[in-house]
Structure 1
Amino acid sequence: MELTNLLRLSPDQNISLSFSEFILYPFPGVTNHRQILVLPFFSIYIAIVVLNFVISYTVWWQKSLHNPMYVLIALLLALNIVGTTAVVPLMIQSLLGQNKVPFSGCLSQMFFVYSTTLFKSVVLLLMAFDRYIAICRPLRYHNIINRSSLIQAWMVGLARNSLLVLLVVFLASRAQYCKSNIILNFVCEYGVLLSLACGEVFKIQMVGVMVRMGVTLSDVTILLVFYVKVLRVALKIAASSARGKALNTCGNHLLVALTVYLCGILSSIFYKVEDSVSYDFQNLSSAIYFLFPAIANPVIYGLRVTEIKDCLMKPWKKKSSGSLNNV
């Protein structure tokens, strides 16, 4: 009933009026029980912030982890915190009924969501390149992978991402929104927002699709090329222990990349078949896309990377040994 009343407030498509305020309405199929969703999503958000912060802080605090690979891991986990913070608090507010968002707020959220997504892709590429040089060009590693080269690569990624994200946000800001001001989701996603725009917006929509899919496909292709070359070299390593360590390290990075890219691709597919999929399922796919990689990444690195796991366990080992000594 609440959703029906809101939809009645939407003006006719022919009225020349552009909304300056939008209403986020996530999980419309559970209208009478939406507040129940606050606790699980809030708990997941707290877990994401804590897990990602603990490992990021551990890398920053532990001098033995001050090398490019671990710095990139910490950067990826920091981006997880920024990305989820741009989404979840507003999501919780909308579930509690405080779901009105100014147009500028929608554009700001879109900027941070797209920025963190593209920057994660840059970090994953740098990780792949780092492993490629470490395993395929080990004698030149310190000449190629250093603070200066990482900063230069980051600046190139910053320039690319800034231009693409600002283009997407600018195009979204120029559209006229008069079909409705109700977003049946918890995030002001580019495609969802433009579906409420009037007039011919197909070209604008295609720009967003090209940016998202173009960057994803190009980055995934480059990443796979690096890891295929790494795999070939790693399999030729005579020492089984060295080969196992190389494969394990690359396997961790590939597993993290898989969670990020696969969740994004599946989410995009569900948006494209919106006529066959319920809004609740679209919301669920969006939640998985934004939350699952952010909580899976620190778990993968915390449990599977020996150096990080040892640093995390060091305080507990000291307490245990201290307790035994006292006994």
Structure 2
Amino acid sequence: MTLFNLTSLTPAMFILAGIPGMEKLHIWISIPFCSMYLASLLGNGIILFVIRTEHSLHQPMYLFLSMLAIADVVLSTTTVPKMLALFWFSAGEISFGACLTQMFFLHFTFSAESVLLLAMAFDRFVAICNPLRYAAVLTPSAVVKTGLVALLRSFCIIFPCVFLLKRLPFCGHNVIPHTYCEHMGIARLACADISINVLYGLIVPFAAIVVDVVLIAVSYILILPVLVRLPSKTARHKAFNTCGSHLCVILLFYIPAFFTVLTHRFGQEIPHHIHILLANLYVLFPPLLNPVVYGVRTQQIKTKVVKIFVCPKRCWLREQE
């Protein structure tokens, strides 16, 4: 049964179809997806708890990391619970307003994470290339302002998409062949010209992300010569570790994102269910692996995690000695 507001031709309800052609496997697919989601909540929760409770980690790099963890939780929580409800209970119905809200927070969080990764690259640039000015440049106020800039830029880029979709008539088409709502997935159901949606959705957010990637690349091009010339082997090892962690997170974030966007736009020969699986993995893998990368490769975080969760009593007695 199709529900419509006949005056505006806006559907009262969309139907998320899941992964086309793999409906019989939805239950089995949900098992690793649910496991990855719960593990990402646990990992990011531990990162946030450790940074929050350990005063020694109240530094710009770790504050940016805590913002990234919050963004990861929002990114996966925006999509995965509804996806699991669809897989487990065939609850694919979603109201038009809820679909737009999910779409907005999905793209908004992606854009905000990109700004945070750029901020983390700038943090590493200042710490390695100009360490004497680090405390003066990256003050607590500067960190807070950076977080606000990430939110404001993302809002200004993504919010117009809501209006671009609300102006479209849908004329009876309300089945979205996906597990969650995203901008072009909704726009393609419209019975009107969507060229503005296509241009805006590809050019504006994509251009903003490309600018972030270029600036991150410039930061590391400037960092690398300074890094190899550090006189102390210990300082060099520590800098390589922190930069290596950040670069791993960058690759986990941008490579699947660009692959998903470009194949979705231009990879018409790739089967549709592969597109959907990749899109689902994209909202799961970075939130799952980011805490692992930073927890394993960053000695300060690894030490605090062991202190708090693995051997709290033994570590406390050692500190007292």
Question: What TM-score, normalized to structure 1?
Answer: 0.90
1:52/1:322 CA distance change after superposition, 3 Å = closer
CA offsets, 1:292-312, max 9 Å, x none? 111110000111100000000
In structure 1, the residue matched to 2:105 is 112
Opposite residue 67 of structure 1, the aligned amino acid is Q
Question: 1:263 Cα shift?
Answer: 1.1
**1:167 paired to 2:160:** yes
* Residue number in structure 1 paired with 2:38: 46
Partner of 1:140: 133
Amino acid at match of 2:260: S
Equivalent residues in 2 for 1:224-263 (5 A)?
224-263=217-256
Structure 2, unaligned stretches of length 5 or more?
none
Corresponding residue SS for 1:197: coil
State the AA in 2 paired with 1:255.
Answer: C
Question: How far off its partner does 1:215 sit?
Answer: 1.4
Q: 1:33 aligns with which of 25, 50, 61?
A: 25
Residue pair 2:47, 2:66 contacting (<8 A) in 1 also: yes
Q: Residue 187 of structure 2 contacts residue 194 of structure 2 at CA under 8 Å; is this kept in 1?
A: yes
Quick check: 1:76–1:123 contact (8 Å CA) kept in 2? Answer: yes
CA contact (8 A) 2:3 2:12 kept: no
Are residues 139 and 85 of structure 1, via their aligned partners in 2, closer, same or farther at CA, if it must alter by over 3 Å? same
Deviations 1:155-210 (A, max 9, x none): 33322211111111221222112362111111111111111111111122210111
Query: Residue 3 of structure 1 corresponds to which residue in structure 2?
Result: none
Matched, 1:215 2:208: yes
Equivalent position SS for 1:242 = helix
Could you report, residue by residue, the CA deviation over 1:263-296 in whole angstroms, capped at 9, with x for unpaired residues?
A: 1001112212453122210111101211111111
User: How far does residue 78 in structure 1 lie from its aligned partner after superposition?
Assistant: 1.2
**Which contiguous aligned blocks of 4+ residues in structure 1 show a shift greater than 6 angstroms?**
none
Unaligned runs of 5+ in 1: 1-5
Secondary structure in 2 matching 1:73: helix
1:18 aligns with 2:10: yes
Report the Cα distance in structure 1 between the residues aligned to 2:62 and 2:152, rounded to whole angstroms.
24
Tell me if 1:317 matches 2:311: yes
Tell me the percent identity. Answer: 33
- Structure 1 position 321, deviation (Å): 7.3
How many pairs does the alignment contain? 312
Given that 2:3 and 2:11 are in contact with CA atoms closer than 8 Å, whether structure 1 keeps it comes out as no
CA contact 1:270–1:285 (8 Å) conserved in 2: no
Alignment partner of 1:185: what SS?
coil
The corresponding residue for 2:178 is 185
68, 72, 77: which is aligned to 2:69? 77
Matched residues in 1 for 2:64 and 2:28: separation?
Answer: 37
1:43, 1:284 → 2: CA distance? 16
Provide the alpha-carbon RMSD of the alignment: 2.1
